[in-house]
């Protein structure tokens, strides 16, 4: 009996997540209400509130799926030898591929229609991943580890947003190379040196 209830709850949660994503695509996150969500999912208000405290809670819970999808994609890439598990910033290709697979949803989430909470949740998921990836990198006085983490996350979100909004014909691998080059090599050092001497 418990298994049947669990399956029913899982179906309801999936229906609510699907409804939220459809509404974000059609009208944007900020304009979407709980009533819109329950109408779209065809569930009762009490059923919604038995699972979530509000639309923010529903949105946040959806990022658990993103975290699991990314971990699975990284594991699969490591098994194929496409970016060793210990490669610095090894999360990036998996994330760009995930964004490419669900580009309409990502555009809605990180673009103007996604709202502050969606971007904050993506930033939080990425910060957790990057923190784990940089766990072996030693801290130093010039650049504390937390600054490095936020720099990588910010650069990734900027690259992702540019790719989704400008929609250039770049594959996930190509945009990943751009991101990695920018973060690992930085800007042109000769320009920095020249301007620093002036």
pLDDT at 64: 76
Q: For residue 85, is pLDDT > 60? A: no
Distances (CA, A) of 159 to 29, 91, 100, 135, 152: 22, 14, 13, 23, 11
Measured from the Cβ of residue 110, the count of other Cβ atoms closer than 10 Å reads 20
* For residues 128-157, average pLDDT: 85
**pTM exceeds cut of 0.85:** no
Q: Tell me, what's the pLDDT at 187?
A: 63
Give me the torsion for CA of 30, 119, 121, 104, rounded to 10°. Answer: 80
Residue 34: predicted pLDDT: 96
Q: What is the pLDDT of residues 162-179, one digit of tens each?
A: 998 887 889 999 999 999
Looking at per-residue pLDDT, the higher value among 115 and 196 belongs to 115
Q: What pLDDT is recorded for position 137?
A: 74
DSSP result, 90-153: THHHHHHHHHHHTHHHHHHHHSTTTHHHHHHHHHHHHHHHHHHHTTTSPP-SSS-HHHHHHHHH
């Amino acid at each position: 009996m418990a298994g049947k209830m669990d399956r029913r709850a899982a179906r309801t949660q999936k229906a609510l997540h699907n409804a939220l994503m459809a509404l974000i695509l059609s009208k944007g996150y900020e304009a979407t209400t709980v009533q819109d969500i329950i109408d779209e999912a065809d569930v009762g208000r009490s059923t919604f509130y038995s699972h979530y405290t509000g639309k923010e809670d529903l949105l946040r819970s959806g990022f658990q799926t993103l975290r699991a999808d990314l971990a699975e994609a990284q594991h699969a890439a490591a098994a194929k030898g496409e970016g060793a598990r210990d490669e610095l910033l090894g999360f990036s290709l998996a994330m760009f591929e995930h964004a490419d697979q669900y580009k309409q949803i990502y555009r809605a989430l990180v673009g103007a229609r996604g709202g502050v909470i969606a971007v904050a949740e993506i930033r939080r998921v990425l910060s957790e991943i990057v923190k784990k990836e940089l766990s072996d990198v030693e801290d130093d006085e010039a650049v504390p580890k937390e600054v490095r983490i936020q720099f990588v996350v910010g650069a990734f979100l900027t690259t992702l947003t540019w790719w989704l909004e400008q929609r250039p014909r770049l594959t996930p691998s190509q945009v990943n190379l751009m991101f990695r080059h920018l973060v690992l090599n930085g800007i042109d050092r000769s320009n920095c040196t020249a301007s620093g001497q002036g």
